[in-house]
């Protein structure tokens, strides 16, 4: 294929439309692949494109005797002392060079199509690593004398469930997520297989004592229990781009993305260093 033909593949409207279409596929795949996308807080205010967002955490309401507000001529002011700013301050890229001959065979859109699945998994991996590093940094370690996996896991769940302070008065188990290293997940899987008649049906543990369970290779602690929404992670993914590399016959597919990760409810993140493995 002639050089001019190759350049026309790069700049054609069809190619640009295809790359734009792949953007949506990428974002959808990241949301599917990233465990952090299922657990993060999305109730923020502000525009992520400005570089930061804010998350407000309001204190619990307090009951007063009937007529208190009428006598005072006003109600109790809404207490908001849990405002957290999350800066979108981590910038990442995936830039892959393509030989001119490969471009001639597949075209930019064709090559991008073939790489989208891998790109989405690598973005998801980066987001998850940052998310669970924050969980382990901001969370509180729970100590227990238990050694049986089911009792250790239950101790982590109860540590979140029983939290009481100005912002929370206990947590429903349906609002808690349990993230286990593969080693601990396997132990819990074995325990469930033993206690259920004929073994557990299927390969997944969907719930344990009413709490969602996930096997997670991106954490270093064996057991992490957290309120779903305890960590915020706004993400910006730029559109796919393609360009000619100067002084060569090669081209590049470019993906740039940015994110910020911060615990907004650190009191609702608990972990136990049980059966830990390196992420």
Burial (CB count <10 Å: 0-12, 13-18, 19+), residue 97:
exposed
Interval 200-214 mean pLDDT: 78
What is the pTM for the complete model shown? 0.84
**CA distances from residue 33 to 82, 87, 259 in whole angstroms, order as listed:** 30, 23, 16
Cβ–Cβ < 8 Å for 142, 153:
no
Q: How many domains does the chain have?
A: 1
pLDDT for residue 279 is more than 50: no
Residue 251: band (very low, low, confident or very high) from pLDDT cuts 50, 70, 90: confident
Q: Strands 211-215 and 176-180: what pairing?
A: parallel
Say which residue, 82 or 61, is predicted with more confidence.
Answer: 82
**What pLDDT digit, counting tens, does each position of 7-28 carry?**
444 555 566 666 677 777 888 8
Domain membership flag for residue 74:
no
pLDDT of residue 135: 98
Range of the domain at 184: 3-58+82-272
Centre a 10 Å sphere on the Cβ of residue 55 and count the other Cβ atoms it contains: 21
Centre a 10 Å sphere on the Cβ of residue 103 and count the other Cβ atoms it contains: 23
**What pLDDT digit, counting tens, does each position of 73-127 carry?**
776 665 556 788 999 999 999 998 887 777 667 776 777 778 888 999 999 999 9
Say which residue, 3 or 265, is predicted with more confidence.
Answer: 265
pLDDT of residue 5: 45
**What pLDDT digit, counting tens, does each position of 162-179 carry?**
999 988 899 999 999 999
pLDDT of residue 27: 86
Domain membership flag for residue 217:
yes
Domain membership flag for residue 248:
yes
Average pLDDT, the chain: 84
pLDDT for residue 188 is more than 90: yes
Q: Strands 231-232 and 262-263: what pairing?
A: antiparallel
Say which residue, 214 or 60, is predicted with more confidence.
Answer: 214
Domain membership flag for residue 164:
yes
Describe the strand order of the beta sheet including 211-215 as a list of residue ranges: 140-141, 269-272, 223-227, 176-180, 211-215, 207-208
**What is the Cα gyration radius of the chain?**
24
Task: Give 237's DSSP letter.
Answer: E
Domain membership flag for residue 76:
no
pLDDT for residue 241 is more than 70: yes
Cβ–Cβ < 8 Å for 120, 31:
no
**What pLDDT digit, counting tens, does each position of 39-55 carry?**
999 999 999 989 999 99
pLDDT of residue 14: 66
pLDDT of residue 275: 67
Domain membership flag for residue 279:
no
Non-local (6+) Cβ contacts of 74 within 8 A are none
Q: What is the DSSP string of 103-141?
A: HHHHHHHHHHHHHHHHHHHHHHHHHHHHHHHHHHHHSEE
Q: Strands 269-272 and 140-141: what pairing?
A: parallel
Centre a 10 Å sphere on the Cβ of residue 261 and count the other Cβ atoms it contains: 26
Locate 202 and state its tokens: 């299927």
Domain of 200, CATH number, reads 3.90.1690
């Amino acid at each position: 294929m002639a050089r001019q033909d190759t350049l026309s593949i790069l700049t054609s409207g069809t190619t640009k439309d295809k790359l734009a279409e792949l953007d949506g596929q990428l974002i959808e795949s990241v949301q599917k692949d990233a465990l952090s996308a299922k657990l993060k807080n999305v109730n923020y205010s502000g525009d992520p494109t400005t570089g930061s967002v804010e998350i407000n955490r309001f204190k619990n309401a307090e009951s007063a005797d009937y007529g208190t507000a009428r006598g005072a001529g006003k109600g109790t002011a809404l207490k908001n002392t849990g405002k957290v700013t999350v800066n979108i301050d981590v910038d990442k890229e995936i830039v892959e060079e393509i030989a001119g001959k490969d471009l001639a065979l597949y075209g930019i859109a064709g090559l991008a199509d073939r790489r989208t699945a891998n790109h989405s998994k690598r973005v998801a991996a980066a987001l998850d690593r940052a998310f669970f590093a924050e969980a382990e940094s901001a969370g509180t370690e729970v100590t227990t004398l238990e050694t049986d996996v089911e009792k250790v896991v239950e101790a982590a769940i109860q540590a979140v469930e029983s939290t009481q302070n100005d912002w929370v008065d206990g947590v429903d188990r349906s609002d808690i997520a349990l993230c286990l290293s593969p080693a601990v997940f396997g132990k819990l899987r074995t325990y469930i297989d033993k206690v259920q008649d004929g073994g557990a049906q299927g390969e997944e543990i969907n719930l344990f004592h009413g709490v969602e369970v996930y096997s997670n290779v991106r954490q270093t602690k064996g057991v992490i229990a957290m309120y779903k929404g305890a960590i915020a992670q706004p993400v910006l993914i730029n559109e796919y781009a393609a360009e000619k590399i100067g002084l060569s016959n090669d081209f590049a597919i470019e993906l740039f993305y940015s994110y910020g990760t911060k615990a907004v409810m650190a009191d609702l993140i608990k972990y136990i260093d049980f059966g830990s493995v390196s992420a």
